[in-house]
């Protein structure tokens, strides 16, 4: 009886998706037809127009536009063979046209670099988070974040090296909500076997590729017995195919407690969407804050790179104080993905040298440098390494 009601409630909310969102309907019923992949990455799109890649750039809101301008500046300076196709998304509008354009552009180019798009609370609840729409439309099922302590940054905990793999399309972020009775709202959290197997497979394969020893699944299966129970079971199944990697699990509240007292015990962590949100923000805070950690969203066919903690940074926008590190490192991850490894390494080294040796820090990590000063320092270091650069 209750199940019947549940199916009805789901059906009611698949309908508005209609037409071009058939992919979503198929996804919700868990029959994503992705085949088993044995590689964590995916083949980059072919270079176009004589060896130059085209990448979609979505500036977003807050500090996104200014930091992405700096990224383009560094790319131009280092003669990186990447052209950006800029697509603006106006977060104040209710219509989906901007997002549809952005999604089409990413489908065309295969790769994107983005700032965070604000979700305005003044718009009605039917307008979903644009960032979420992007992730689900492109089926970017794996969010990967690598948190490492940086020697040049003062933090309470040292020697942290955690990879977090977060399921990026379902779970609590399914955006399926309805008000069944006035004053009573139900929000559905969907866990499917296919997506759980897929993300677990991704996590173990990545762990193996990077030579990591242990994967920890984070869950709350003692309370959400069916939902998180299914997720955990899928992880266990996948784990049995990787005997060289140790698998264990931990309940999410205990996980956060352990993270703030002994974060060094964690190696690779895999989890559903919401816990991923919490854990990745805790870890980002532990290594120094939102300005330092890059994030990547991978799907079977597309990849989108952004900062790990997805902040708009409205309060510091336009003041030349934002930390460009996270977005620059994200752009390096993108260059690695495009197999432009030399450029990636050059820029990454320059960023880390500025952070760890020159110690030119922005305010969020206790320094007094401006964004521009940090970026110029990075460009100077790139130039000093003798690589081909254009004028300053």
The answer to the question of residue 343 lying near other proteins (CB under 8 A) is no
The answer to the question of residue 173 lying near other proteins (CB under 8 A) is yes
Residue nearer to other proteins on the CB measure, 221 or 296:
221
Of 90, 185, 210, 265, the one binding other proteins (CB under 8 A) is 185
| Residue of 346, 300, 314 lying closest to 107 (CA atoms) | 300
Hey, how many other C-beta atoms are within 10 angstroms of the C-beta on 110?
A: 22
The CB-of-82 to other proteins minimum distance in angstroms stands at 30
The answer to the question of residue 224 lying near other proteins (CB under 8 A) is yes
The answer to the question of residue 178 lying near other proteins (CB under 8 A) is yes
Residue nearer to other proteins on the CB measure, 130 or 343:
130
x/- mask, other proteins, residues 271-290, rule CB under 8 A, reads ---xx-xx-xxx-xxx--xx
The CB-of-180 to other proteins minimum distance in angstroms stands at 9
The answer to the question of residue 144 lying near other proteins (CB under 8 A) is no
The answer to the question of residue 317 lying near other proteins (CB under 8 A) is no
User: Could you give the 3-state DSSP secondary structure of residue 14?
Assistant: helix
The answer to the question of residue 179 lying near other proteins (CB under 8 A) is yes
Alpha carbons within 13 A on the beta-carbon side of 260? 9
The CB-of-187 to other proteins minimum distance in angstroms stands at 4
d(CA 48, CA 225): 49
Q: Which residues, 189 to 218, sit near other proteins by CB under 8 A?
A: 189-194
Asked if 218 contacts 270 with a C-beta cutoff of 8 angstroms, the reply is yes
What are the structure tokens assigned to 43, written together?
């083949």
The answer to the question of residue 387 lying near other proteins (CB under 8 A) is no
Q: Tell me the number of residues near other proteins by CB under 8 A.
A: 67
d(CA 274, CA 219): 10
Of 119, 370, 387, 389, the one binding other proteins (CB under 8 A) is 119
Asked if 371 contacts 321 with a C-beta cutoff of 8 angstroms, the reply is yes
d(CA 216, CA 270): 6
| Residue of 188, 213, 215, 214 lying closest to 199 (CA atoms) | 215
Burial 10-35 (b: 16+ CB within 10 A, else e): beebbeeeeeeeeebeebbeeebeee
252-261 helix and 273-287 helix, angle to the nearest 10 degrees: 10
The answer to the question of residue 359 lying near other proteins (CB under 8 A) is no
Interface stretch with other proteins, choices 168-176, 209-217, 333-341, 342-350 (CB under 8 A)? 168-176
The answer to the question of residue 314 lying near other proteins (CB under 8 A) is no
Vertex 268 angle, CA 264 and 274, to 5°: 105
Residue nearer to other proteins on the CB measure, 177 or 301:
177
d(CA 310, CA 343): 25
The answer to the question of residue 294 lying near other proteins (CB under 8 A) is no
The CB-of-200 to other proteins minimum distance in angstroms stands at 14
The answer to the question of residue 147 lying near other proteins (CB under 8 A) is no
d(CA 252, CA 206): 22
Q: Which residues, 8 to 67, sit near other proteins by CB under 8 A?
A: 10, 28-30
d(CA 65, CA 53): 21
Residue nearer to other proteins on the CB measure, 155 or 389:
155
- Please identify which residue in the block is written with the tokens 């919401």: 274
| Residue of 266, 273, 281 lying closest to 142 (CA atoms) | 273
Site of interaction with other proteins (CB under 8 A): 2-3, 6-7, 10, 28-30, 119, 121, 125-129, 132, 156-157, 172-173, 175, 177-179, 183-194, 220, 223-227, 230, 252-254, 256-261, 274-275, 277-278, 280-282, 284-286, 289-290, 309-311
């Amino acid at each position: 009886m209750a199940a019947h009601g549940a199916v009805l409630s789901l059906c009611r909310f698949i309908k508005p998706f209609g037409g071009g969102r058939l992919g979503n309907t198929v996804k919700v019923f868990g029959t994503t037809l992705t085949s088993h992949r044995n590689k964590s990455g995916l083949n980059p799109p072919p270079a176009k127009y004589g060896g130059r890649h085209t990448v979609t750039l979505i500036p977003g809101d807050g500090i996104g536009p200014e930091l992405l301008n700096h990224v383009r500046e560094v790319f131009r300076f280092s003669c990186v063979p990447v052209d950006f196709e800029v697509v603006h998304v106006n977060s104040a509008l209710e219509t989906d046209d901007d997002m549809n354009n952005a999604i089409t552009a990413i489908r065309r180019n295969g790769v994107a670099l983005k700032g965070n798009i604000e979700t305005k609370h003044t718009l009605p609840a039917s307008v979903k988070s644009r960032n979420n729409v992007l992730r689900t439309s492109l089926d970017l099922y794996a969010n990967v974040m690598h948190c490492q302590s940086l020697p040049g940054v003062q933090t309470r905990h040292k020697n942290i090296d955690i990879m977090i793999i977060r399921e990026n399309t379902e779970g609590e972020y399914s955006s399926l909500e309805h008000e069944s009775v006035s004053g009573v709202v139900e929000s559905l959290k969907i866990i499917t076997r296919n997506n759980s197997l897929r993300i677990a497979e991704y996590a173990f394969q990545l762990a193996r590729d990077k030579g990591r020893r242990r994967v920890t699944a984070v869950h709350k299966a003692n309370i959400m017995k069916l939902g998180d129970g299914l997720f955990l079971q899928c992880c266990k199944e996948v784990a049995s195919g990787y005997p060289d990697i140790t698998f264990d699990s931990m309940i999410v509240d205990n996980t956060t407690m352990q993270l703030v007292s002994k974060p060094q015990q964690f190696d690779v962590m895999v989890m559903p969407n919401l816990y991923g949100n919490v854990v990745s923000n805790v870890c980002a805070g532990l290594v120094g804050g939102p300005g330092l950690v890059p994030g990547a969203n991978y799907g079977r066919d597309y990849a989108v790179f952004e900062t790990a903690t997805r902040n708009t940074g409205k309060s510091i926008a336009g003041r030349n104080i934002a930390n460009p590190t996270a977005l620059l490192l994200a752009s390096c991850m993108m260059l690695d993905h495009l197999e432009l490894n030399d450029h990636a390494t050059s820029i990454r080294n320059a960023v880390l040298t500025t952070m760890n040796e020159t110690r030119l820090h922005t305010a969020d990590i206790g320094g007094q440098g401006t964004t521009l000063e940090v970026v110029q320092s990075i460009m100077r270091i790139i130039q000093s390494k003798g690589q081909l650069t254009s004028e300053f």
